[in-house]
Amino acid sequence: MGKSHISNNIRKLRFFRNEMTQQQLAEKVGVTRQTIIAMEQDKYSPSLELAFRIAHAFEVPLDEVFSYHPEAEST
Amino acid sequence: MSFQEKNIAVSLSIFVAILGLYLVRVFQMVQNESFNSTNMFRLWGTIAVLAVVGTILATIFTHIVGGIVHKVRTNEDPHIEDIQDERDQIIDLKGTRVAYTFSSIGVALSMLTFVFGQPPLIMFSLLIFFGVLAQVIADIWRLTLYRRGF
């Protein structure tokens, strides 16, 4: 438990989208701000649908938002 | 702290109070030698009503007090995140699973009292004790998942 093996660039992408707030992103993708915070801190890996909604909100492909690090499993 | 976390924290406080009340009442009954089925089932009813009313009051209390505190601290109208998104639902389910696990262990332990020749009253006392304890542990687990992540 704890840190996920999936990392993301949500914080960076928000910054490059006119410093979009966590609340604005949360409203755009239909979750609470707490969930956005948890994802930014790598404390929660979203469902596939939510991942696509976030990528769609930033208008970028999914792999520009999320990346998987399998090596983290063995450490 | 999100609305869901506050709600769980208030619910946890209420169930800890209910558990404390239950233990004190059982202890009193044993001391007064009034530990009989009539008093025990009355206590069962009281605990069940308190649990239902407590859960409803916890939600109302969190809405009202949370809104007032937010208004006083930020001078903004309260924005209560009362939607339950996928993360909240997963945490809720994980908590429920923990509650079922502890309830099952509790039921098994309660049944064991028959094996040791204890009267059914002991079994019923332990059943409700483990039921409320399972709820307390589930709430603690939910809060842990909110804090630690998963």
Task: Summarize pLDDT for B96-115 with one digit per residue, the tens.
Answer: 999 999 999 999 999 999 89
Which two structure tokens, joined as six digits, stand for B41? 């089932």
- One-letter amino acid for residue B35 of the chain: F
Q: Which residues pair with A67 in a beta bridge?
A: A7
**Closest chain B residue by Cα to residue A40:** B149
Task: Note down the domain range covering A14.
Answer: 6-73
| Interface check B85 vs A, CB under 8 A | yes
Q: Please check whether residue A1 lies inside any domain of the structure.
A: no
Tell me the per-residue pLDDT of B20-77, one tens digit each, with 9 for 90 and over: 999 999 999 999 888 888 888 899 899 999 889 988 888 888 888 877 887 787 777 7
**Closest chain B residue by Cα to residue A36:** B87
> Which contiguous run of DSSP H or E holds residue A36?
helix A33-40
ipTM score here? 0.82
- One-letter amino acid for residue A53 of the chain: R
The domain total for chain A is: 1
CB pairs under 8 A between A and B: 48
- One-letter amino acid for residue A31 of the chain: V
Q: What is the CATH number of the domain that holds A64?
A: 1.10.260.40
Which residues contact residue B24 at a Cβ distance below 8 angstroms, ignoring those fewer than 6 apart?
A: none
With cut-offs at 50, 70 and 90, classify the pLDDT of residue A73: low
**Closest chain B residue by Cα to residue A42:** B149
Predicted TM-score (pTM) of this structure: 0.83
Name the residue facing B86 among A33, A43, A50 (closest C-beta): A50
Name the residue facing B87 among A2, A4, A38 (closest C-beta): A38
